[in-house]
Structure 1
């Protein structure tokens, strides 16, 4: 078992080292002093510890002001970085070599509290003739080393006064101050790590192309990404720490569902302010005891979902005007006419016998237009049962009729929004449905069944 050295053993060991270092007792001050440039560079290197330690040094100095003591902070090698004390005391100690830039390591200054504390990695108080060089023997010094989170020495705090002022409590004051500095260093590191984690999380959230927002138990929005702000046409600063009701009117119901152990996924909602549809998924946030403390909401623009589905299903056009083979004057004139109307928003009527290439023409018009990157939806009107035509074209809401799909379903008009809808065999559609279709073509607006 390790047995710690006694105070007298620590002093004796240090004095023996000084003899090996060939330190002379009569030197007027420590052997090594940094140049101004060297000190400035060292201060920059140790800026973090100086910034944290100085407020605690000032608090301790306020307690000791006028008592004949000074406080100084050294780096891990014993170089004095900064000094706080009464002006007359600081000036007097400077004559003995205790000043900024002085090297107080044992190899430079012999046995002294700061140098010995750093070498032995402990807290120590030295007074009078316990110091090696004569010029330091009029002082009492109490020093404690400062460690980082890994336990490595990064500095030392020293309290120095006339030897007549020696008291065990002065070492206790220094040790307490060092503990406060070390705790603040840990806190500072934690805050830095938290900020770094926040930056990573923020960057990840803002790189995602669908909306994300986080809501706490009180319905307060704590985070939102750029995509959500763009989709909802709001500014981040106007929504953070505001009630979620503004963007999610039923947030309380959803939170209660999650707390009850139910899921809330693949729901379709209408954003009332802008009349836009979103696909909604909500996931619970749980603490260590598995209690729901909030929720994360993700939502995608339904139109983008439709476009993605159509891109990888039948909702795309493959033919272009180059695929229409023919060099006759009528065919050349037809192509010119079709190209001239490609970008028109007007409805185009394509007539011809079965098998003459009406869909080829429709796809070519689509691919020559500004809509080519959006959906191309083709539907054979003659193949749909009469009682299903409306639901196929216009879609339906949840619970509209017996057998309706849970959550509702988008119609072909919605799927083709921004693209092209090709109604093949439209003449086979019942006349009453053609009247409804005419109204849609005139108003450019649909209403789902239910």
Structure 2
């Protein structure tokens, strides 16, 4: 199989089923699977191969079923970015519109933040929820949304393979990325799915063509599995909102639910909510639900349902340092990758799976591209519990901030395209 794929051949359904099952059970060695993954990176996969690989990953574990719930199910998945807190206001908003939102999320790695890390900054909140408890929460009309960690029996082949790909230079493969994401999303039992595929310096895919290819493959995989699936392509050259971190992003999300918050976070939240509501077959405008306070009510109920206290004070970092504008003009660039790496170095992210993160660490952004700034005014506030991290964070911001006397162009659009 390794040599066949290395030489450009196609794997049969039986071969794919055998190798995924064998790898999951330990019959296929890590060295063999890493060689096959590298051959797939080089040679790619056909649509049939990718669909079968995804099905085999799903079959390696259990598949949840929420078809008996009294409300339609719909979920969202983001490919990850900087300041991407959208799940936090989005899940309760869509639940308040009448859908059930079973969202299995992950923790951050590298410069991209993790939804579970953000929510775990809320005192008492627990990421681990049993399937029985998920069903209870989703059925409750006052809550209707769960954001939690995936169970060990959900696509276990993907968990093993992703860990292997991460250390063998085989992450960058559209078929393997698509099957990794979609195997978990299909296995979680949602009837509909909206994908947020990020594009730009702070995203996994920096080009629109690459993001469109990934989005197309994932939409096809979802629909092949009977899940109504659409994808939005959204910009990630600049961080979303005005915070990057954990507790900092929770606070900003609560601002959105209260009717305020940064315009870009509100825009993307409502755009994704409208897509999710439409996929769920509901006739309601999420903007009305956000403005009248119902989304906030569902947020509070959602946090309480998983042991959290929505009224508790959020963690605050022990040390801060301000980065000031070096000149007067217009901020024309605030690079998402630079900000993401700086937040990671401050303690908001992790270099390896399993490392702890600092709940209060991160970055506040006092200006965004298009804003006029004056020399000496605060541009960023860095937050950390470990002041030795400031030097590395500032170094990561070198070249990430550009101020010009006049902007060459207006900031770009947030929504770049739609697939499906």
- Bin for the TM-score computed over the shorter chain: under 0.3
Instruction: Give TM-score, length-normalised by structure 2.
Output: 0.24
Structure with the larger RCO, 1 or 2 (CA within 8 Å, 6+ apart): 2
